[in-house]
Structure 1
Amino acid sequence: MAWNTPGSDNSGGSDPNGRSPRQRKPNGRGLDALLDPLRNLFGSLGGGAGGGNSILRWIALVFGLWLVFNCFVLVTEQERGVVLRFGQFARVLQPGPHLKAPWPIERVIKVNATQIKTFSDNVPVLTADENIVQVEINVQYRVSDPRRYVFGTRDGDQMLQQAALSTVREQVGRSTLDTVLGARSALAVSARVQLQKSLDAYRTGLVVTELNLPNARPPEEVKPAFDDVNSAQQDKDRLISEARAYAAQVVPEARGQAARVRTVAEGYKTATVARAQGDADRFSLLVDQYKLAPEVTRKRLWLESVQEVLTDNRKIVGGDSRQLIYVPMQNKGGASSGGGTSGLLPESLAPTVTAIEQQQAEQAGRTGRTPRPTGREEVTR
């Protein structure tokens, strides 16, 4: 077909200046001005101006455009490009523009290496003390090695999910129910370390950025029983706290009392030993004095004993054989020996007949003589 250009007819002849249509310069208007360089490039493929030659030109143009776009690859900042050459790994493309061999020689698989993916699940787990608990799992991960992520496993995400469930079941199965309900942070840390080891062993090319066990609760069927257990545990903790507070108050007092009793006992021990030692020394000195003067020592000991006995007893002074006079004396403490009673006792005022007077009366009756005065008769004025 003939090309229609501005300023020329459809006969395909020369212009007034004698130039052919292909020799005319574009005037800068229309689509022909842009396609002229491509026409000159592929004009030699057809060998003429017929219809078949034009189709070949267009096929060559389309192939050239496809070749250009197929060899150019643009990798974004979040992606990494895995280049396969005849299906085999060749290299990894970093972010930016790159060139590669056209398909089917090389092809590129783009992997998002910065996206944080999340996996969450809620699974029942059997603990070490044979209790079932519902554990909530939350795992965050990303791609660390694009080559391993593409070629290491068939589905790295599915592998991570299975490995996460297995790891959590293993860690919870080694712990008791109280640990799972009250100390899940340590379980989450150990589960994260074990999960990363499993992912490296499976060559998944994934790295775990966070693993949490946000919630753990018993099944709904046995939740009331677990609530009772938790209440009992709280009561236990409360009673333990109260007992510790009471112990903190009582133990120092008991220790102080024990120290005081110990001190008193030590003092009593020291005083008793010293008194006994003094008595022993005094007795030794008395023995020595008794050997030197037995009579004097014996009389002195008797007087001291009588003085000690009479000091703690009521004082009775006898006036004669018929009358006893009570004399209130002061004790060591200053109180009277009669319990505060002053004067003479009523019975002490009445005349008392003793056995001596009876004997004297009987003797006088037999002899007819009056009894001899003893010096204790009552004087009458």
Structure 2
Amino acid sequence: MVLNIWAFLNTVNFIVIIIQALFCVAWVLFSLNSKRTSVIVLTSAVSAVILGASIFAGNLVFSIILFFILISLMANTVKIVNEYQRGVLLRFGKFAYVVGPGINVIMPFGIDRMLIVDLRTATIDVPRQEIITKDNIPVNIDAVVYFNVFQPELAVLKVQNYFNATSLLAQTILRAILGKYDLDEILAKRQELNEMLREELDRATDPWGVKVTATEIKSIELPEEMKRAMAKQAEAERERRAKIIRAEGELQAAEKLSEAAKIIAQNYGALQLRQLQTLSEIAVEKNSTIIFPLPMEILKFFANKD
């Protein structure tokens, strides 16, 4: 009976050691992905020590304890970085290197510390800013900023929080640039101002490893008094254009009538035909009294008969 229990314990110990060996191999393979000699040497040495101690001890309890130690070390050292992320690794508080995507192994016990940085394009909804234009008109302007991190180490080492820093800088630059222009220029040159804002913001955030790809002014809100004044101005402008168009139409009509009068004056019969045509147009409605002028030539004809 004792021999059977001993054989069973040895079998379980052997299975635990096999599982340990598989985890150690996986741990070493993960460390190879980091391509860092120090990490590879550390994981290989720790794996060899744990596996050798389990084999030479021949104790099931000791092997299980070492197995849990191995699992704990792997949980603390194996880090997964997504494709759209990069890890900034600090070793003893100093920048070591940028960790690429995939499964990576770092040193445990606080030796290495990895900070994850997202490389995808992010958006900042710039809060509404009250700006005094160059012609002393208060306006409220909303904007949005599109940016992404192109150097993760700078985004971690050069600024405490690059997202908040970019947002506050965008507000400052928005007020500084738009305050140099009149209201009419802001309304008419929105695309040019967007590009100017992008260039200024990108130049300021470049030392942080942040690339500003676009800025857009979403809305420009005017005071009610200014809206009414602009509405009156637009109405007056439309009336001016309507009067000019009407006057141009009268001028063109007068020119055409003058040409027609000259043509009709050259032939007396043309005037008679025009009178008859006018009578036919009037007679269509059948609700008018027509006084037909009698030509003097006809009266002369009757006078000659007498």
- Taking the aligned partners of 2:127 and 2:115, their CA distance within structure 1 comes to 30
Q: Which amino acid aligns with 1:209?
A: T
Is 1:118 the counterpart of 2:124 in the alignment?
A: yes
1:35 pairs with 8, 16, 22, which one?
Answer: 16
> Counterpart of 2:208?
204
| Cα distance, 1:96–1:21 mapped onto 2, change above 3 Å | same
Contact 1:128/1:173, CA 8 A, preserved across alignment = yes
SS of 1:194's equivalent?
Answer: helix
> Counterpart of 1:366?
none
5 Å-filtered alignment, 1:153-232, equals 153-200=159-206, 203-219=207-223, 223=224, 225-232=225-232
SS of 1:215's equivalent?
Answer: strand
Q: Count matched residues.
A: 226
Deviations 1:227-247 (A, max 9, x none): 221123213432453466468
2:150 pairs with 114, 138, 144, which one?
Answer: 144
- Taking the aligned partners of 1:208 and 1:166, their CA distance within structure 2 comes to 15
SS of 2:218's equivalent?
Answer: coil
SS of 2:238's equivalent?
Answer: helix
- Taking the aligned partners of 2:51 and 2:160, their CA distance within structure 1 comes to 50
Deviations 1:146-181 (A, max 9, x none): 111111111111211111111111121111122234
- Taking the aligned partners of 1:182 and 1:104, their CA distance within structure 2 comes to 57
> Counterpart of 2:7?
21
Q: Which amino acid aligns with 1:114?
A: R
Q: Alignment RMSD, CA only?
A: 3.4
TM-score w.r.t. length of structure 1? 0.51
> Counterpart of 1:93?
99
Is 1:106 the counterpart of 2:106 in the alignment?
A: no
SS of 2:87's equivalent?
Answer: strand
- Taking the aligned partners of 2:250 and 2:121, their CA distance within structure 1 comes to 62
- Taking the aligned partners of 1:244 and 1:206, their CA distance within structure 2 comes to 54
Q: Which amino acid aligns with 1:35?
A: V
Deviations 1:274-310 (A, max 9, x none): xxxxxxxxxxxxxxxxxxxxxxxxxxxxxxxxxxxxx
5 Å-filtered alignment, 1:257-276, equals none
2:141 pairs with 93, 110, 135, which one?
Answer: 135
- Taking the aligned partners of 1:97 and 1:143, their CA distance within structure 2 comes to 22
| Cα distance, 1:64–1:218 mapped onto 2, change above 3 Å | same
> Counterpart of 2:233?
233
Q: Which amino acid aligns with 2:235?
A: D
- Taking the aligned partners of 2:65 and 2:244, their CA distance within structure 1 comes to 93
- Taking the aligned partners of 2:201 and 2:96, their CA distance within structure 1 comes to 30
In the TM superposition, residue 100 of structure 1 has moved relative to its aligned partner by 3.0
Segments of 5+ residues of structure 2 without an aligned counterpart are 21-49, 256-306
Segments of 5+ residues of structure 1 without an aligned counterpart are 1-8, 256-381
- Taking the aligned partners of 1:197 and 1:253, their CA distance within structure 2 comes to 61
In the TM superposition, residue 67 of structure 1 has moved relative to its aligned partner by 2.7
Contact 2:78/2:106, CA 8 A, preserved across alignment = yes
- Taking the aligned partners of 1:249 and 1:78, their CA distance within structure 2 comes to 65
Greater relative contact order (CA < 8 Å, ≥ 6 in sequence): 2
Contact 2:88/2:95, CA 8 A, preserved across alignment = yes
In the TM superposition, residue 102 of structure 1 has moved relative to its aligned partner by 2.9
In the TM superposition, residue 76 of structure 1 has moved relative to its aligned partner by 1.0
SS of 1:216's equivalent?
Answer: strand
In the TM superposition, residue 57 of structure 1 has moved relative to its aligned partner by 4.1
In the TM superposition, residue 36 of structure 1 has moved relative to its aligned partner by 4.7
- Taking the aligned partners of 2:144 and 2:242, their CA distance within structure 1 comes to 39
- Larger gyration radius, structure 1 or structure 2: 1
Q: Which amino acid aligns with 2:130?
A: P
Q: Which amino acid aligns with 1:158?
A: N
2:89 pairs with 83, 93, 102, which one?
Answer: 83
- Taking the aligned partners of 1:171 and 1:93, their CA distance within structure 2 comes to 39
| Cα distance, 1:242–1:65 mapped onto 2, change above 3 Å | same
Identity %: 21
> Counterpart of 2:69?
63
Contact 1:73/1:98, CA 8 A, preserved across alignment = yes
| Cα distance, 1:36–1:91 mapped onto 2, change above 3 Å | closer
